[in-house]
Amino acid sequence: MSRLVLKFGGTSVADVARIKIAAARVKREVDAGHQAIVVVSAMAGTTNQLVAWCNETAALHDQREYDAVVASGEQITSGLMAIALQSLGVKARSWMGWQIPVMTDAAHGKARIREIRRDAMEASLAAGEVAVVPGFQGRTEDGRITTLGRGGSDTSAVALAAAFEAERCDIFTDVDGVFTTDPRIVSKARKLDRITYEEMLELASQGSKVLQTRSVEIAMNHRVRVQVLSSFNDQPGTLVVDEDEIVEKQVVSGIAYSRDEAKITVMGVADRPGVAAAIFGPLAEANINVDMIVQNVAHDGRETDMTFTVGRAELDHAVRVLENALHKGFEAATIAHDSSVVKISVIGVGMRSHPGVALTMFRTLAEKGINIQVISTSEIKVAVLIDEEYLELALRALHTAYGLDAG
């Protein structure tokens, strides 16, 4: 008898009718002889409502209380899912994060799982009960409720699959799997049958919303086989697996994009050691993630420009932090910023053995008259920042250029 984790996202448990459909899906696996751990998100829209209430109560609010409020969304779904399973004759019970318990650190709002204590739930599974777990939840050592951050239910599912040594973790969503790129923009996008952890990680962190980055990291570290599939049909989805399991590697597997980008340029800073630290130190202290970075050559041997990107929502905060830092150190510098940019990332493990992937990208964009503002690369990724007006044009051109078009 093998063990599966089945995770249903918000649209797959959007209302009672959908919860019943999801429960029937679980029943099929139980009838096939599997032990099942079911992880559920909040019903679609619920988390947004709860977050809005917190913000409405106070713009700056205690993250511990925020966690208590928003964790209730998943709690509701878990009870309803247990009821739905029972009504189909499937033995089931809900397990809140604090009941299992899923122990996390105390970084409320974006906690990280430290340990999942197996004993109680293991006994329940052994007794033939389906365990229904609200995703996204944990508790601290001193007994406060934590949440794992947006998309945290994926993380819960993969972490439970790792802790309970599940054969596979099925992530049910409203799309058919992982696509070569966003099919809403590129009609010729294709569903991938398999993708490597590394590629999935890049896709997730570069803007693909299919899986949360942290969940892919855990899957990769613990070699959890993850399947992304639709709860709206019975088609197989995309399997996220070890590179060994993929025989025919593509040079480029997918193209991700992110609109959540803003560009900041600090002009006229002295070109001397320590200047980067003087800029990025204050940003790091303010908990602002900096992504792409380029430093121009000094204009006159003494001054230089520094350009980098931050999350669009953090732009105002970042600019304020930098203006403070300027006050204290770089009187000559000025700050420019632009939030009408997007990042496009071309991803594939095959890049390692195929040079020229970046060149194809630059050439393709140049042919369409698209200016590249910033470039960053990793072993299996080339990412560029461009004017957001060109997003769709660029995506379609690159999808064709890398031979990803369907049919």
Instruction: Pinpoint the alpha helices (H) of 180-271.
Output: 197-205, 213-222
Using alpha carbons only, what angle is made at residue 65 by residues 42 and 207, rounded to the nearest 5 degrees?
50
* Cβ at position 232, least distance to a copy of itself in Å: 20
Among 3, 61, 190, 337, binds a copy of itself (CB under 8 A): 61
- Least gap, CB of 108 to a copy of itself (angstroms): 11
* 94 forms part of the interface with a copy of itself (CB under 8 A): yes
Residues 6+ apart with CB under 8 A from 397: 364, 365, 367, 368
Does 190 contact a copy of itself by CB under 8 A?
Answer: no
| Site mask for a copy of itself (CB under 8 A), range 106-145, x = bound | -------------------------------------xxx
How far lies 301's CA from each of 269, 271, 279, in Å? Answer: 11, 7, 19
Residue 372 interacting with a copy of itself (CB under 8 A): no
99 binds a copy of itself (CB under 8 A): yes
- Give the residue, chosen from 35, 78, 231, 309, that forms a contact with a copy of itself under the rule CB under 8 A: 78
Min dist CB 87 to a copy of itself, Å, is: 4
DSSP 28-93: HHHHTT-EEEEEE-PPTTHHHHHHHHHHHH-SS--HHHHHHHHHHHHHHHHHHHHHHHHHTT--EE
Q: Which is nearer to a copy of itself, 70 or 401 (CB)?
A: 70
Nearest Cα to 5, choosing from 163, 206, 203, 217? Answer: 163
* CA 58 to chain centroid: 27
Distance CA 27, CA 173 (A): 18
- If one asks whether residue 54 binds a copy of itself (CB under 8 A), the answer comes out as yes
Residue 50 sits in the site that holds a copy of itself (CB under 8 A): yes
Kindly list the residues in this chain that would bind a copy of itself in the complex (CB under 8 A): 16, 19-20, 50, 53-54, 56-58, 60-62, 64-69, 71-73, 75-76, 78-80, 82-84, 86-87, 93-94, 96, 98-99, 143-145
